[in-house]
């Protein structure tokens, strides 16, 4: 396969409008979206069944934290799974938490693009 890594992505976000937009951007950029989840439980189930290469996880999932989601996904025996956090909030608000998490990077939602994601995980 000539496509750069990652090829298969899971989107974890509780905003259906953003999920649809992100799916379109990723698929237009050559990254297959294998599913979307809006909760930790659904994200773990999809990682187990769909085996994505990448999970894009919103930091704010309503009642749940994206930081808890990336910790749970890192604990799954699925390899390799790159974890990237994203938010509408400024990265500086969460810099220490992002650094302490198993995520490989952060994507601001206003700058969401396939190219940025590939740079982070590539």
Q: Is residue 27 part of a domain?
A: yes
Give how many domains the chain has, as a whole number. Answer: 1
Q: Is residue 3 part of a domain?
A: no
**What is the mean pLDDT of the segment spanning 23-44?**
95
Can you tell me the distance from the alpha carbon of 100 to that of 79, in angstroms, rounded to the nearest whole number?
20
Q: Is residue 76 part of a domain?
A: yes
Q: Report residue 113 as tokens.
A: 């693009």
> What's residue 36's pLDDT?
96
pTM, to two decimals: 0.92
The strands making up 82-87's β-sheet, listed across from edge to edge, are 32-37, 8-12, 54-58, 82-87, 105-108
State phi, psi for 66 to the nearest 5 degrees: -60, -25
Q: Would the pLDDT of 104 be above 60? A: yes
Can you tell me the distance from the alpha carbon of 18 to that of 79, in angstroms, rounded to the nearest whole number?
27
> What's residue 47's pLDDT?
94
Neighbours of 88 (CB within 10 A): 12
Q: Is residue 102 part of a domain?
A: yes
CATH of the domain at 80: 3.40.50.2300
Q: Is residue 1 part of a domain?
A: no
- Domain extent for 111: 8-121
Q: Is residue 108 part of a domain?
A: yes
């Amino acid at each position: 396969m000539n496509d750069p890594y990652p090829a298969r992505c899971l989107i974890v976000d509780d905003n259906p409008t953003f999920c649809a937009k992100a799916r379109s951007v990723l698929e237009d950029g050559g990254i297959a979206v294998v599913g979307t989840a809006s909760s930790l439980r659904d994200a773990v189930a999809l990682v187990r069944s769909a085996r994505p290469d990448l999970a894009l996880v919103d930091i704010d999932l309503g009642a749940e934290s994206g930081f808890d989601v990336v910790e749970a996904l890192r604990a799954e025996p699925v390899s390799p799974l790159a974890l990237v956090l994203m938010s509408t909030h400024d990265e500086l608000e969460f810099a220490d938490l992002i650094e302490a998490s198993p995520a490989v990077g952060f994507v601001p939602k206003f700058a969401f693009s396939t190219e940025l994601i590939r740079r982070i995980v590539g």
